[in-house]
Each structure stands twice: as C-alpha cells, then as structure tokens.
Structure 1
Amino acid sequence: MTSISGSRILVTGGAGFIGSHLVDTLLARGAAEVRVLDNLTNGTEDNLAHLHGDARFSLTVGDIRSADARAAAMNGAEVVYHLACLGVRHSLHDPFENHRVNAEGSLQMLEEARERGVGRFVYVSTSEVFGTAQYAPMDERHPTWPETVYGGGKLAGEAYARAYFRTYGMDTVVVRPFNTYGPRSHFEGDSGEILPRTIVRMLSGQRPVIYGDGEQTRDFMHVSDTATALALFGDADGVSGETFNLGSGTEISMNELCTVVADTVGRPELTAEHLEARPGDVRRLIGDPSHTHELTGFAPRVGFAEGITELTRWFRARQRESPEMIDRVEVRNWLPAGVN
C-alpha cells in the first residue's frame, strides 16, 4: 500500500467543511500532491485560500458526475478520498438530485478509480445510514435503517464500495463519521448544522431552536480529530474491504448542547425555543469507536467543552467581520430555498 507521505491524492468535496481540514492534514503528513474536485455547491474557495501558495495543492471546480472532471482530477492519483455529497436536509426537498449525487455519483467515482488503478479508495459515509440506535453504542454491524433519502443514498455508496472490493478486488475502505463540528462548519442554508447554527444565533442575541423535545442525542467529534482519523485510513494496513465507525463514543442531547453553548457564549438566559419535530430526524446516535481504535490506534484528542470554546471564538471573530451572518441562518432549512 502506498504511503500517504509522498503520494498523489484526490479529495472530492475538498472545499467543504471536513474535506478542507482533511486536505490540510494530508499536506501536513507529507503528501506529494493533493488535488481537490469540488463544484462549490456546499464548499467554498475561502476554505482553501490559505493553501494557494502551496505548489502541492490544486483545486478543480467541477462535478463528480462529469466524466471530463473526474478524468482530469483522478489522472495519476494513488489515493482517493470521496467526500463529495449533498446533505441530509437537501434530501428532504430534492430527493432525486440528492440520490444522483450521493449514490450514482459515488458509483461513477468508483468505476473511474477502478479503470485508473487507484491504489486505495476511501469512501466517506455517515452515521445517518443507521437511522436511530436500536442498541448503544452502535458498532459497525448495527442494522442500517436510514430515515432519509440522504442516508439511503450514502448507504448505497457504501454497498458499491464494498461490492467493488469483493467483485474486482479493488482496495476500498468505508468510514462513517458521526457528527463532526469545528471551524469552517456550515451554519447557512440547507447545509447548516445544529452547533454552528446555535452559536451564530446566540452570538446575535437570538434564542436557539430545537426541533421536538430536544432529547435527541448525537455523538460529536472535533473536525481536527475526524481529519486525522480519515488520513490514517489512506494507508493503514488491514482495513481493505472493511467498514469503520468514526465517533467519540459519547452522546449529548440537543437540550444539553444548547445549555453548553449558552454558557460558553455567556448568554445563559437564551433558553431554547422548541418547534415541531423535523422530518427524518434520527432519535439517537452514539458510535462504538473500538474497531477504528484497534486497527489504526486512533483516539480523539479534543474534548467537547474545549471544542465548543474554540468554535465560539472562531464564529465570534467572523461575526465581527460579517454581522449579517444571522440572515443566512434558516429556521426550517429542510424546506426549498425561500420557504421558511
């Protein structure tokens, strides 16, 4: 297996939140070249602006469903990390487009990689493939009953990656991050996540919004840890054809999350506003990270309180530069644009 150090790597979706941090990590580990293929639907060039002076980095603006874009980006690549996708709330208002990108696009990427003899293909999935926990913590053999087209499409991509390993002997790895947070996370539009949305609202003096009773739980991991773990799967031994959970092994409810953020922001009086339950919302997620630890030695380093403090500081600085950020936070962000 080719080592990450000295190798040529393609990261699809590399201008996004997790993808851009992964690019940073791969370059720090000595990759000879890191290419990004991203259509900038969710990602931004700003996430990669600090790399424009690095000769080892390049960005191609294009769609994974374009044969020309795939061919140009993957030519000569030894390792592919496939993160490009459309998100869970997008799938609620545009299920067919979500499927075409997440399922069909992943199959197209796998076939391109097979034809070009890519050394390893890391498919980055999601804990949403599970649906709500039937037992906890959730290991890799937990039943998969996704509650959204997003979860279904990502599960299809997993199945294709495993099939390419079994049918063609292609070196594929499936990794399922649970809930990642940290700098560059999305707060706007249908890609906005609970933590950044809540922080931006509270920094603007607005109450946080919780859908339903707030007892839904999630397993959060800081993006620096997620990127570190993903990088390890690029050249780890004994992982081919395998599926791995990537979480902290702890859970926090949305009610608890809002309390932690309020205290960190210094606005404990901003109590949560409860709205109707969100469609397709998973009730409970908590991963069992032991398989990942056993095969790679990875363990998260950033604690939740430390990570929230850092993220609050990061958003506070950006809000000083762009006070209109609050205008881009949509309350019911699973509805079509402009409907709220």
Structure 2
Amino acid sequence: MSELRGTQVLVTGGAGFIGSHLVDRLLADGADSVLVLDNLVNGKRDNLAHLQDDPRVQLLEGDIRDDDARQRALAGTDIVFHLACLGVRHSLHDPMENHSVNAEGTLQLLQAAKQNAVGRFVYASTSEVFGTAQVAPMDERHPTWPETVYGGSKLAGEAYTRAHFRTYGMDTVVVRPFNTYGPRSHFEGDSGEVLPRTIVRLLGGMRPVIYGDGEQTRDFMHVSDTAAALALLATAEGVAGQTINLGSGTEVTMNTLCAAVARAVGRPDLEPIHDDARPGDVRRLLGDPSLMHALTGFAPRVAFEDGVVDLVRWFQNGSTAVDDMLTRVEERNWEPVTA
C-alpha cells in the first residue's frame, strides 16, 4: 500500500467500467493523485461521481490521439495505466476508427510517455488477441490469432508496448485481462456485454439471447479482482517487459451464464432464445493465470456465482428503471446504427 505514496498516476479510460474501479483501488492503495484522461465516448462521469469531492482525483476530458491532451495528462506522471480503447463489437461496424484509437492511439501515448520520462507504463490488452483457444488453459505463449480488428488492434498495441521496452528501455508491462464483469459494466450500445445485457433482459421479464449453441466459453473475473491485480502491477518488481494473463483459470459457457443469471434474478422459467452465431465470435477462452500469481502472489477472491448475484443486486438497486435500460439494450450491437 505504501509503495504508491508520493506517486502521480494517469489512467486513460478511467471513467469507464474497469478504469473507474482501478481509480478507486489506486486511491485505496495510497496514490497521491490520479488523473483520468477520458473522452467519455464509453466512459461516464457518473462512474467517478462518488469521487467528485476527493482532491486527489481529476478528470481531463480528452482523446488519447490529441497531442495537447496527452501532454497535459502526462506532465509529472509517474505511472500510466492505459485502458482507453474501443471495443470488439465496435470494431465490426467501424474497423478504421477502432484501429485508430487502439493501435495508433497507443503508439502515440507510448511516444509521449517516453518523452515525459514516465516511470512505468501498464498497457491493458485483452484475451481477444488469442482468438479461439488452440490448447487450454492458454498461457502467455499461446499463439495469437485474433478473430476481429479489435483483437488485431490490441495486439498491435501490445507489440508497440513491448518494442518500447526492448528498443528504448522503457519500463512497460502488457497485461491481458480475460472477461471482466461487475458493477458499472456496460449493458447499452456497442459496448454492451453479455452479462449485464442478460441481467437487464431477465429483470424486464424477457428471455435472454444466446448467439449460437451457447457452448462457447469465457474466463470471467470480477472487476474488484481485476482492479486489485492491475494496481499490483503499478509497483511490482520483476514485471518490466513482461506480458501477463489476467484470468481466473475457470471457464463458463454462455448456457451456464444464462442459467446463473436466471437463478439470481429468480426467473429460471425464462429460457434462452438461440440466435445465429455472431461474426468473429471466439469459441473458447480459458486463461492460465500462473505467471501473474508467480510474479505478484495475486489470486482472485470472488467466485463467479457470487459475482453474478452481486451484479444483479447492483442493477436492482440502481436509479435507472428497468424499462429505460431495456430501450438501450442493442442485442445485435455489432451492426451499424441506422437512422
């Protein structure tokens, strides 16, 4: 905890789902100040509203591709957590912008961090760089064959981050979170995730939707665990230049997920609707988390079923009516929005 005292931390995408939880954790772990750089395309001011009176936190609204915003954000920064990105479903309908933010934006931020002599740069990649598991569990040496432009753009960001370690001697870390879920997760638009979308539908008395046969799997981790693990990488020794998986080491099918949500909501009678498989959908993800544990001692604490119950309660206790949330759920959220 004391290792973060005296540090100024930048979190790009810090008004987003994972980013805002990371801000909470960094403050709890003793960071002197946390600056959030977010253009609020996917992030929300509401995610940081509970910190509005905390003098240690500042939100700078801006784009990582804007040089002025980058320079303002990096001035005096000791540690960078780079989480800003556009997601997998966005890449299906706007691949060029997805590449621009995720790949080019990362390179621009790395160059600016080098110029500002940042102490450590932590790049949040994604398990989507792997594509479908060829062997399981998937360790960091598993082949990278992304299925989407999103996965490809995040893999490019990884390569640029590793190159800055090897070429320029920057203290960089690449971390690959698998599937994070929990409070503040997105149910709306092209950033909507399967768990919150499923919860909203079931709370509204609607059957959940599964794309394909539902036997595709994901490795889920509660956001409190993801944030705790990321915060450890701010000061952990022996991680410079590493690429590290961040998963639970367990896999959950979409059929199992829907059944767990239905139990938590109290509507096991609402059986899933099966629709056509999504384009570019990864069939299997199961991470090997042993390197993260070896380097930091980290192990997740929240079991999947318990985390689902927690997330259902969060939605039930929120200020937004279920009917209002349902109007913002886009089931085929990889398709272009039409007027």
Q: Report the Cα distance in structure 1 between the residues aligned to 2:213 and 2:290, rounded to whole angstroms.
A: 31
User: Contact 2:293–2:299 at 8 Å: present in 1 too?
Assistant: yes
Q: 1:84 matched to which residue of 2? A: 84
Which shifted more, 319-328 or 164-173?
Answer: 319-328
Which shifted more, 316-325 or 20-29?
Answer: 316-325
Q: 1:104 matched to which residue of 2? A: 104
Aligned pairs for 1:205-284 within 5 A: 205-284=205-284
The superposition leaves residues 216-255 of structure 1 with CA deviations (integer Å, 9 ceiling, x where unpaired) of 0000000000000000001000000000000000001001
Q: 1:174 matched to which residue of 2? A: 174
Task: Give how far 1:320 is off.
Answer: 5.6
Give the secondary-structure state (helix, strand or coil) at the position aligned to 2:332. Answer: coil
Task: Give how far 1:318 is off.
Answer: 2.0
Q: Is 1:146 aligned to residue 131 of structure 2?
A: no
Task: Give how far 1:317 is off.
Answer: 1.6
Counterparts in 2 of 1:322 and 1:197: CA distance versus 1, 3 Å: closer
Task: Give how far 1:321 is off.
Answer: 4.4
Q: 2:307 matched to which residue of 1? A: 307
Counterparts in 2 of 1:46 and 1:58: CA distance versus 1, 3 Å: same
Q: Report the Cα distance in structure 1 between the residues aligned to 2:56 and 2:85, rounded to whole angstroms.
A: 24
The superposition leaves residues 285-316 of structure 1 with CA deviations (integer Å, 9 ceiling, x where unpaired) of 00000000000000000111111111000011
The superposition leaves residues 182-225 of structure 1 with CA deviations (integer Å, 9 ceiling, x where unpaired) of 00000000000000000000000000000011110000000000
Aligned residues: 338
Task: Give how far 1:81 is off.
Answer: 0.2
The superposition leaves residues 269-293 of structure 1 with CA deviations (integer Å, 9 ceiling, x where unpaired) of 1100000000000000000000000
Structure 1 gap segments, 5+ residues each: none
User: Contact 1:38–1:62 at 8 Å: present in 2 too?
Assistant: yes
Q: 1:298 matched to which residue of 2? A: 298
Q: Report the Cα distance in structure 2 between the residues aligned to 1:75 and 1:264, rounded to whole angstroms.
A: 46
Aligned pairs for 1:110-129 within 5 A: 110-129=110-129
Q: Report the Cα distance in structure 1 between the residues aligned to 2:117 and 2:301, rounded to whole angstroms.
A: 35
Q: Report the Cα distance in structure 2 between the residues aligned to 1:227 and 1:331, rounded to whole angstroms.
A: 28
Give the secondary-structure state (helix, strand or coil) at the position aligned to 1:318. Answer: coil
Q: 1:17 matched to which residue of 2? A: 17
Give the secondary-structure state (helix, strand or coil) at the position aligned to 2:318. Answer: helix
Report the TM-score when normalising by structure 1. Answer: 0.98
Q: Report the Cα distance in structure 1 between the residues aligned to 2:319 and 2:71, rounded to whole angstroms.
A: 39
User: Contact 1:210–1:254 at 8 Å: present in 2 too?
Assistant: yes
User: Contact 2:177–2:226 at 8 Å: present in 1 too?
Assistant: yes
Q: 2:45 matched to which residue of 1? A: 45
Report the TM-score when normalising by structure 2. Answer: 0.98
User: Contact 2:204–2:322 at 8 Å: present in 1 too?
Assistant: no
Note the aligned Cα RMSD (angstroms).
1.1
